[in-house]
Structure 1
Amino acid sequence: MTLTAHRPDAVPLGADGAILFGRYAFPPNEKGYCGPDRAGELLERVSEGASGPALAEVARGFAGAWPYLEHIGECLGRAPLDAAVVATYWLGGPALARCGGAAFARSLEERFRPRLSRQEFERLEDGVRNGGTPHHSFHVFGVYPWVGLLQGGMGDAPLEVLDRCRIRWGHVVSLDGEVAVVRSRHLEWDGRRLHLGPRTLETAQLRRDGHGLSRPVVPGDWVSLHWDWVCDRLDPREMSWLVQSTSIELAAVSSCRYSAPATVLS
């Protein structure tokens, strides 16, 4: 994998934590999967860099992500919308090692134990024991039911959701108006484990009616993707975080004694 150099004009990582959160939270929010019914406002605020109390209020409405931000923030001694906390949740990085283990298990117990059967909660505990961390991919792979549905022979639909819901990375090949052509690797299922397949081309939304999530990108850049959108431009450090964290969470869930809980949790 060849990465483009970290260009000197790049905005420092997470110059504003609420904006960074919105870049990744908007794509599933637009589809109605999580967060408050304020997708149009979220896109506009992120695109215009309009941070502040209103955007923070929208972020707190993401019932799935917000407890992870609180947990990471507590571990790091930072606020939930601190840029380092937000980047750790979506992209990963060395700080995740300080947020896993027993502290993460206690956080999951407080949040999910009353809502799950003993067997279902044991699956989450397995994921943590196997190295799972409070990264977005853990929630996608370990908490949502899609891995279990794959094991139950439910076809390609669960695999597509798993692939689109995780934060993935891609190499920009070309730009066409408000759309980017990106070369990326998608999840594949061999009947027992999830793994990354070969690189293929896909299209992803850069902007809609002039509003976008990402900092400016050009062909040759590496970018992060969530559902149908380009979320941001990645520098080599961020790329390594995302690749490593994805690998860790895939390995953790693949090693569980059971498939993921068969209950959708937000």
Structure 2
Amino acid sequence: MTASDAGLSLTIPGPLLFARYAYPPNALGYCGPGDSAELLEYAGLGVVDRGLAAIAHRFLGAWPYLALIASASRREPLDADVVEAYWIGNRLLRNVPGSLFATHLTDRFGPGLTDPAQLALLGGRPHHNFHVFAVYPWTGLLRAGPAAEPLRVLDSCRISWGTVTAVHGEAADVSTRPLQYVAGRLRLGDPVVRWMLTGSRGYRLTRDVQPGDVVSLHWNWICDVLSGPQTSELRKATADVLALVNHALGRPAVGSALEPVVRPAVGLSGPGSGTFVPVAALPDAMS
């Protein structure tokens, strides 16, 4: 890998955008291949080559979602819009029908894990935050108690956003709304200022940030500077999935992390007599 073609254009290539968001959990050993330092170097130098694509393919959690979004939109998995759809959100998510997404989840995680498929039928989308809240077990563990650790993991693992208030070398203060669990319901709290990493060993995931920038956050790292439309998409994706999981959390606990919120309607994933409730009809979780 060299820096000879490291100049970044206004449109970030898909593999680099993937590296920006995939590095923080990879550095903690949570997903992807073992050499996280290489991923940070790719992001910092702005280099795109076959090596970076090969690394992205080894993220077994994220890659199938990229492939699903790409297939539904007739694009490649590392197309910039596909990568943006998964991590931030954009119009391509709406190209994936709920029935297709439900089948994808059942095929990946087995017929015994029915709840994410049900949430897909309710309007869930193949966004990273859906995976965090609806597929990982941490949401269901909230009501098993104590809630502090599941809440910390959910808040760190989701892609969130905030406004930079000060920059200190390879760190910055960011005003962001933390995830809260109140009266059996997930919501975003009032803004607090948190310390976030902007770089390590001279490498940054995004360009230098400035006070006033709205940025995306993942595991205590600033991943990117967001535009207004990107911020709106991320806010919507977050609100939608929180409404879905709050609807599920409101049901009695019977034995699984998130109990099914509705039986499948006829023609979606088998016979049944349930009612399809679009996510827009569920309570707002952003307040």
Q: TM-score, normalised by structure 1?
A: 0.89
Q: Which residue of 2 aligns with 1:6?
A: none
Distance 1:100 1:188 in 2: 30
CA distance in 2, matches of 1:191, 1:63: 35
For structure 1, the 5+ residue unaligned runs are: 1-9
1:204 aligns with 2:201: no
Structure 2: distance between partners of 1:55 and 1:258 = 45
Identical amino acids, percent of aligned pairs: 44
TM-aligned CA deviation for residue 261 of structure 1:
5.7
What secondary structure sits across from 2:212 in the alignment?
Answer: coil
1:52 equivalent in alignment to 2:44? no
Q: 2:214 aligns with which of 198, 208, 222?
A: 222
- Give distance in 2, aligned partners of 1:258 and 1:125: 18
**One-letter amino acid of the counterpart of residue 240, structure 1:** S
Q: Structure 2 CA distance, aligned partners of 1:128 and 1:254?
A: 14
- Cα shift readout 1:181-203 (whole Å, capped 9, x = no counterpart): 10000100013211100000001
Query: Secondary structure in 2 aligned to 1:23?
Result: helix
- Residue 171 to residue 79, structure 1, CA distance change in 2 (3 Å): same
Distance in 2 between the 1:215 and 1:106 partners? Answer: 39
Structure 2: where are the runs of 5+ without partners? 1-7, 259-287
SS at match of 2:176: strand
Using a 3 Å threshold, how does the CA distance of structure 1 residues 93 and 181 change in structure 2: closer, same or farther? same
Which structure has greater helix proportion? 1
1:213/1:230 contact within 8 Å kept: yes
1:102 aligns with 2:99: yes
Aligned to 1:3: none
Deviation at 1:258, TM superposition (A): 7.0
Is 1:165 the counterpart of 2:165? The answer is: no
Q: State the alpha-carbon separation in 2 of the partners of residues 135 and 199 from structure 1.
A: 24
Distance 2:97 2:192 in 1: 33
Q: CA deviation at 1:76?
A: 0.7
- Amino acid of the structure 2 residue aligned with 1:210: G
Residue of structure 1 in register with 2:18 after alignment: 21
Alpha-carbon distance in structure 1 between the residues aligned to 2:141 and 2:183: 11
Q: Distance in 1 between matches of 2:201 and 2:252?
A: 45
Cα distance in 2 for partners of 1:36, 1:191 equals 39
1:98-247 superposed matches below 5 A: 98-113=95-110, 117=112, 121-247=113-239
Within a 5 Å distance, the mapping from 1:67-86 to structure 2 comes to: 67-86=64-83
Give distance in 1, aligned partners of 2:70 and 2:207. Answer: 25
| Partner in structure 1 of residue 36 of structure 2 | 39
Separation in 1 of the partners of 2:197 and 2:57? 25
Q: How does 1:255-266 map to 2 (within 5 A)?
A: 255-256=247-248, 257=251, 262=257
Change in 2 beyond 3 A, CA 1:97/1:104: same
Counterpart contact for 2:106–2:114, Cα < 8 Å: no
Give distance in 2, aligned partners of 1:189 and 1:140: 15
TM-superposed CA distance for 1:103, in Å, is 1.2
Give CA deviations for 1:138-161 in whole Å, capped at 9, x if unaligned.
100000010111011133000000
Contact 2:102 2:118 in 1 (8 A): no
The one of 9, 12, 18 aligned to 2:10 = 12
Instruction: State the number of aligned residues.
Output: 248
Q: What is the TM-score when the length of structure 2 is the normalising length?
A: 0.83
Give the deviation of 1:207 after TM superposition.
Answer: 1.0
User: Could you say which residue in structure 2 is the equivalent of 1:4?
Assistant: none
After superposition, the CA RMSD in angstroms is 1.8
Question: What amino acid does structure 2 have at the position aligned with 1:97?
Answer: R
Q: Give the whole-Å Cα distance in 2 for the aligned partners of 1:43 and 1:130.
A: 37
Q: Distance in 1 between matches of 2:238 and 2:256?
A: 19
Tell me which amino acid in the other structure corresponds to 1:12.
L
AA in 2 matched with 1:38: D
Q: 1:129 Cα deviation (Å)?
A: 2.2
CA deviation map 1:109-139 (0-9, x unaligned)? 21112xx52xxx2211221122111000010
Maintained 8 Å contact 1:164/1:227: yes
Runs of 4+ in 1 over 2 A off after TM superposition: 10-13, 256-263
